[in-house]
């Protein structure tokens, strides 16, 4: 009697197990890739909103010390803007602007999603507040 050559049941089960493990690893990698793309898109949109808001400071939003907050895209992105006078620790106190004009430090925080460490953008910049035009009247 000739023996037929073929695969045993054990070999077929091992082959399916290896195939299943390979597919599981592949799907995990694809899932992680889509998560990274989504995070990049959300952080990019947060940066665009932050840039837009910072561009308005000094034009549409007055440079006055204090804190303000708001949202973008119906609450999807939340922001907090803090404006404080900037004091250079290396400059002598005599150079400080006594009339309140001068440099101001703007700190903008934008959060989205669960506001975890990867879902938070924090920006700091300096802005010069020009003296009021009415105060510059020459006699």
| CATH assignment at residue 76 | 3.30.1300.30
38-89 pLDDT per residue, tens = 889 999 999 999 999 999 998 888 888 999 999 999 889 999 999 999 887 7
Place of tokens 């895209």: 73
- How many distinct structural domains can be found in the chain? 1
> Measured between alpha carbons, how far is 46 from 33 in angstroms, rounded to an integer?
20
Q: Could you list the residue range(s) of the whole structural domain that residue 89 is in?
A: 9-136
Average pLDDT of the segment spanning 13-34: 90
> Measured between alpha carbons, how far is 105 from 50 in angstroms, rounded to an integer?
15
45 in any annotated domain:
yes
């Amino acid at each position: 009697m000739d023996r037929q050559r073929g695969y045993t049941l054990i070999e077929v089960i091992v082959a399916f197990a290896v195939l299943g493990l390979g597919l599981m690893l592949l799907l995990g990698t694809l899932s992680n890739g889509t998560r990274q793309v989504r995070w990049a898109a959300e952080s990019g949109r947060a940066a665009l909103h932050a840039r837009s808001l910072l561009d308005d400071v000094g034009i549409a939003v007055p440079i006055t010390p204090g804190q303000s907050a708001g949202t973008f895209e119906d609450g999807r992105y939340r922001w907090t803007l803090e404006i404080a006078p900037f004091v250079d620790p290396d400059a002598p106190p005599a150079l400080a602007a006594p009339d309140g004009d001068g440099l101001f430090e703007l700190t903008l925080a934008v959060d989205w999603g669960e506001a975890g460490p990867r879902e938070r953008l924090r920006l700091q910049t300096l802005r010069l507040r020009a003296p009021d035009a009415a105060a510059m009247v020459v006699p």
